[in-house]
Amino acid sequence: NAGVTQTPKFQVLKTGQSMTLQCAQDMNHNSMYWYRQDPGMGLRLIYYSASEGTTDKGEVPNGYNVSRLNKREFSLRLESAAPSQTSVYFCASRVTGHGGTYEQYFGPGTRLTVT
């Protein structure tokens, strides 16, 4: 049981380039999330998917798009990277439904630098 996995672990982009961050979970969780972590800012929610087929904006969605490919996978796309998107990106998942608890399980993160 690998939990939540993210690829890549590290990435360097030039301004204007695009890329997709991949996330997968093998815990059969319904909900998935993308956060960014910046020094002194804690974690801020970019997008989330409460269930397969749905996505919603979080606190800081501008410049990003997401795709809930299936129940296991939730990808984050930067169409035209900007230096302000230099950050560490975390994916998380959570079980929902009767008897489910509310904690989220996090992946190891992707460290992205945009030059």
Partner 1 sequence: GNSVTQMEGPVTLSEEAFLTINCTYTATGYPSLFWYVQYPGEGLQLLLKATKADDKGSNKGFEATYRKETTSFHLEKGSVQVSDSAVYFCALTRPNSGYSTLTFGKGTMLLVSP
Binding site for partner 1 (CB under 8 A): 4, 31, 33, 40-45, 48, 50, 58, 90, 92, 94, 96, 101-109
Instruction: State the nearest-atom distance from the C-beta of 18 to partner 1, in Å.
Output: 25
Residue 106, beta-bridge partner list: 92
Instruction: State the nearest-atom distance from the C-beta of 114 to partner 1, in Å.
Output: 20
Q: Which of 19, 45 has the CB closer to partner 1? A: 45
Amino acid identity at 102: Y
The C-alpha atoms of residue 45 and residue 28 are separated, in whole angstroms, by 21
Instruction: State the nearest-atom distance from the C-beta of 12 to partner 1, in Å.
Output: 17
Q: Which of 48, 74 has the CB closer to partner 1? A: 48
Q: Exposed e or buried b for every residue in 86-113, given b needs 16+ CB within 10 A?
A: bbebbbbbbbeeeeeeeebebbebbebe
